[in-house]
Amino acid sequence: MASLGDDDLLPAGTLYSNLMDSSIILSLGSHIDVYCPPRKRSRISAPFVFRQTAEQEKQASIELLPDECLFEIFRRLPGGQERSACACVSKRWLLLQSSIRRAEICSDKPSLSLNQTAQQVSNFNGVVGNEEEEFENNGHLTRCLEGKKATDIRLAAMAVGTYSRGGLGKLVIRGSNSTRGVTNLGLSAIAHGCPSLKVLSLWNVASISDEGLSEIANGCHMLEKLDLCQCPSISDKGLLAIAENCPNLSKLTIESCSKIGNEGLQAIGRCCLNLKSISIKDCELVGDKGVGSLVSSTPTVLTKIKLESINITDVSLAFIERYGISVTDLSLISLQNVSENGFLVLGKAIGLQKLNSFTITSCRGLTDIGLQAVGYGCPNLKQLTLRRCSFLSDNGLNAFAKLAWCLESLELEECNGITQCGVLGALSNCGTTLKALSLAKCTGIRDGVFGSTLLPPCNSLQSLTIRNCPGFGSAGLAMVGKLCPHLKNVDLGGLYAATDAGLMSLLESCESGLVRVNLAGCINLSDMVVLAMARLHGKTLQQLSLDGCRKITDGSLVALAENCASLLDLDISRSGVTDLGVASLACAKQLNMQVLSLLGCSLLSDKSVPFLRNLGQSLVGLNLQHCNLISRKAMELLGEKLWWCDILY
């Protein structure tokens, strides 16, 4: 649905012949400049100067009334339809209405002569409130403005247009119009017209300051979630207003706000006792005092904490350990001033008993001893993610694994001090609970001589991800297969060292039947692997990716067509398949494939199009991009035949 432009809010023409001279209907410029006669007091912050022509001076018009009179008329309009209709007359009328607070609207609904005028205007199909897509979200209207659509006029239109429906419940503003972007005036309109607002998200809006946020605080006392990202003009003063007026605040996210520091966070901690989630990133003025106040003020309800790139020390971790009795999700990212002692504090058996998920990224203070302390202090931890922790070794990982009795998911990324020995040891020590293991960009993991027969199996592991680990090869895959016989999901994307022999050993060891397999970028694999997979796991296999496997040919498609009746999603992009392989898929009556990707299959031609048409009875997604031998005309005809399928070409 095409959205209406700014001019759509100001219709002109014969419709206004009985209302006023159309010359007073002004287009929206880069600033909110509308002209009107002098009056006693302005209801809005925009300046108004009205220029009268000689003809207008002789002709009676409601537009000649000062703002104060129009304000008294507007606040007595009987309903939302009339208010929306009048707001379409001019920018002046729209901004005047958006400045009226709900408490100032008369409830007796008197009959006014203006109603007939409003009814005439409402016939115009550009009624305020229909210019942006809206939908229900937990019983509240939600609006999202991005880029050039984010203007004060649109915010004012939203406030007026949604008035009769209870106002907005959620507002998201991302970016701003470069010439007439969102300012405090637009946010003030939302505060006046949408007192039921519960969620406010402001991203990259430099023109909104403490004044606008204070208006929200004064008008929207039901606010529950506040997200401020790249708002350099908002400081502690704005947060103080939120703290004093919005006691229901439960989620606070602050990112890259250079003027927000400890004072604002301390105010939130004192006043907002329902705070359940806090996320603070890249705010240089935030330190231990602010974080400590937030954590210690609501120990019984705070469940989620995320701290990234801020100037906190071991003191903040001590607060988290002491008062985090209800915390279930904790993320510590790029905390350069946190030392090993900070993680040792987490080993005390006082707080963090309910912690389920723990993410640690780029923290130099995390050492082997610190990770072992985490194992002591977080006995119920189910998910651990470690990224770019360069001081960790196999000793720390194994020591932690012996204490993690409840661990279900382990993710290691760019932890280059971890070797194959540490990974296999972790699998063995968490053999009864671990369900998912993910290794990414770990250059320290290399094939070596390691006696896997001496280790007990990890019967609980169902999901294995090994991506872009160049040293992990056939020997490692074989050992993982022996240790983990009940795998269902295997992701080996970008594992260049994987060979047919190593993967065959893994496939033969999986006893439960594989469901999802990703072999994208495994350039050394051939049809032999796919034949074995189809034979051993054809009854359970639902999703398979062979993207970039150049050695895969039509033989693989024949095997899949004959054995994999449950296959729903197949990606054979940039492979060596031809028209014959596509024909074999189309002839398999038991297949009900939903998604097929043939991107970059340079050997396919127009001959495959009839077979794709037959196969497409169940398809909802088909990718034929960069299949250069298939003509544009053939693709368009295929699109007409398979009108229900989303085809990319």
d(CA 256, CA 246): 23
d(CA 187, CA 216): 7
**494/75: higher pLDDT:** 494
Residue 456's pLDDT band (cuts 50, 70, 90): confident
If you ran DSSP here, which 8-state letter would residue 3 be given? P
Residue 63's pLDDT band (cuts 50, 70, 90): low
d(CA 156, CA 168): 12
Residue 97, token pair as written in the block: 């209405």
Transcribe 287-304 into DSSP letters: -HHHHHHHHHH-TTT--E
Q: What's residue 248's pLDDT? A: 95
Q: State percent of the chain over pLDDT 70.
A: 77
Q: What's residue 75's pLDDT? A: 65
Q: What's residue 48's pLDDT? A: 43
Q: What's residue 49's pLDDT? A: 44
Superfamily of domain 513-649, CATH level 4: Ribonuclease Inhibitor (3.80.10.10)
What is the SS3 string spanning 345-366? HCCCCCCCCCCCEEEEECCCCC
Whole-structure pTM value: 0.80
Q: Indicate the SS3 state at residue 206.
A: coil
Task: Point out the least confidently predicted range of 127-136, 224-233, 356-365, 409-418.
Answer: 127-136
Q: What's residue 418's pLDDT? A: 93
Q: What is the dihedral sign for C-alpha 548, 554, 556, 558? A: positive
In DSSP terms, which residues pair with 440 in a beta bridge?
413, 467
Residue 447, token pair as written in the block: 């094939």
Residue 262 has pLDDT above 70, yes or no: yes
Cβ neighbour number for residue 487 with a 10 Å cutoff:
24
Helix (H) or strand (E) holding 586: helix 579-587
d(CA 320, CA 305): 9
pLDDT tens digits, 168-180:
899 999 987 777 7
- Which whole number is the average pLDDT over 194-207? 92
Whether the CB-CB separation of 442 and 468 falls below 8 Å is answered with no
442, with CB counted inside 10 A (0-12, 13-18, 19+), is buried
If you ran DSSP here, which 8-state letter would residue 211 be given? H
Q: Which of 63-67, 427-431, 575-579, 587-591 has the highest mean pLDDT?
A: 575-579
Q: Cα 407 from chain centroid?
A: 26
Residue 3 has pLDDT above 70, yes or no: no
Domain ranges of the chain: 6-122, 513-649
Place of tokens 């003191």: 315
Task: Point out the least confidently predicted range of 53-57, 192-196, 387-391.
Answer: 53-57
Contacts 24+ apart (CB under 8 A), 118-123: 118/77, 118/81, 118/82, 118/83, 118/85, 118/86, 119/82, 119/85, 120/15, 120/18, 120/19, 120/85, 121/15, 121/19, 121/85, 121/86, 121/88, 121/89, 122/81, 122/82, 122/84, 122/85, 122/88, 123/15
Give start and end residues of each alpha helix (H) in 45-113: 54-58, 67-74, 80-87, 91-98
pLDDT tens digits, 288-316:
999 999 999 988 899 999 999 999 999 99
3, with CB counted inside 10 A (0-12, 13-18, 19+), is exposed
Q: Which of 50-54, 189-193, 318-322 has the highest mean pLDDT?
A: 318-322
Residue 17's pLDDT band (cuts 50, 70, 90): very low
Q: What's residue 155's pLDDT? A: 86
What is the SS3 string spanning 461-478? CCEEEEECCCCCCHHHHH
Summary mean pLDDT of the chain: 82
Residue 84 has pLDDT above 70, yes or no: no
Task: Point out the least confidently predicted range of 107-111, 366-370, 427-431, 544-548.
Answer: 107-111
Q: What is the dihedral sign for C-alpha 497, 502, 504, 508? A: negative
- Which whole number is the average pLDDT over 37-60? 46
Task: Point out the least confidently predicted range of 97-101, 150-154, 509-513.
Answer: 97-101
Q: What's residue 156's pLDDT? A: 81
Q: What's residue 32's pLDDT? A: 36
Give start and end residues of each alpha helix (H) in 220-339: 236-245, 262-271, 288-297, 314-323
The C-alpha angle with vertex 590 and arms to 588 and 593, in degrees rounded to 5, equals 85
d(CA 450, CA 31): 72
**547/130: higher pLDDT:** 547
Q: What's residue 113's pLDDT? A: 44
Q: What's residue 40's pLDDT? A: 42
Q: What's residue 86's pLDDT? A: 65
Cβ neighbour number for residue 193 with a 10 Å cutoff:
27
**Residue 174 CA: distances (Å) to CA of 159, 203, 601:** 18, 5, 39
**114/647: higher pLDDT:** 647
Residue 125 has pLDDT above 90, yes or no: no
Q: What's residue 50's pLDDT? A: 44
